[in-house]
Structure 1
Amino acid sequence: MHCPYCNNSESKVIDSRDATDGVRRRRECIRCGLRFTTYERVQTSALMVAKRDNRREEYNREKLMSSIQKACVKRPLPTGAIDKLVHDIEIQLQDTGRAEIPSVSIGEMVIEHLRTMDPVAYIRFASVYRDFADVESFKEAVEALEKAYHSTDKERDSAQLPLIDETIFSTKKRLRKPRAGLDLNISIGDEKR
């Protein structure tokens, strides 16, 4: 394991913890003293990806990560969102139990995740992945997304509890009863009110 700061190959493990898909280790570089985190994952049997042109190639996490990062460039996504998305897709791929997955299936998984995560990243990825033949088909995809987005807004709004109790702002005046023992006659100068 090389230090990401000084590229030294010697480090010591400060802390190890189980993570959902492996082991998280906190390391300290022997040379520069800086700390970094590594994740160890179990390497399952090689997953093969069947390309559109009938070629077969081994699944490449970095290739998937890179294509998603390109779609998400300059988008306000939380730190680690892309890593989590790739991790979730890998879990889905493992859950299929298949040794070979069509690239089309992987692309559709990415599209479904991006659709809920970031609409702009979804459109960017879909425009490259689906290779729209013309502007009209691209426009249809945007309109379908917009329609789905607005319908989920309405569903969310109807299911959400009100933030403020609307009865507070009703036009009826509420009369308060004076507290016992209070004299409501206030005198200013010689006048009594």
Structure 2
Amino acid sequence: MLVDDRGWLYLGPILAIQLCFFAAAFRARTIRFQQLVLCGSGFYWSLLVYYVQYFPAGTKTLFCDVTASSCSYCLHHRISFLPEFFGLASGRGNPMNRSIGDTSIAYYTAHLLYPLLQKLPFVGFYVTHLGCLLSCATGIGSFALLFRTYQDVKDPCLINFIMYIINWGLARAMCLHFYTLYYDKRLVKKRE
């Protein structure tokens, strides 16, 4: 495991900026702005997961390999490839074995396209219902991933923790969208 004692010099400012993004997202006046800010942060950390996973392990010391945590070790572990971890796909060469970076990019893209998905005929109304369920399941799944990573790898993976906060923020946003959809429907009935 590569550990860089000076990694906090690089990671510290990034975490400070991330905390500012979290503060902006959770204090936002609109649900959509919260969704956009959290998706932007999620894309950044997902691309960082790609950077870590698609370079050979041990060939570099990353800025996130600091004394408290080593992201390259936990992101190269098989728990970061969920189909392989659950026995659904074998080996890293299998096209079904996608990393958490792949699934996270798809998840954040769906959140960005949420207003367009609502406009789809026939299924547009149920996008909010499905999005709320999927977001809550992703929040629970990210907590389980964080717990299992700490249990199996014995290393608090900072990236998994940050993505856990992002996913719960997006679950909150989708639940608020669902509540707004229900509340607006109730108002329309009262006006009639």
TM-score relative to the length of structure 1:
0.26
Max radius of gyration: which structure?
A: 1
TM-score relative to the length of structure 2:
0.26
Higher helix share: 2
Relative contact order, CA 8 A, sep 6+: which one is greater? 2
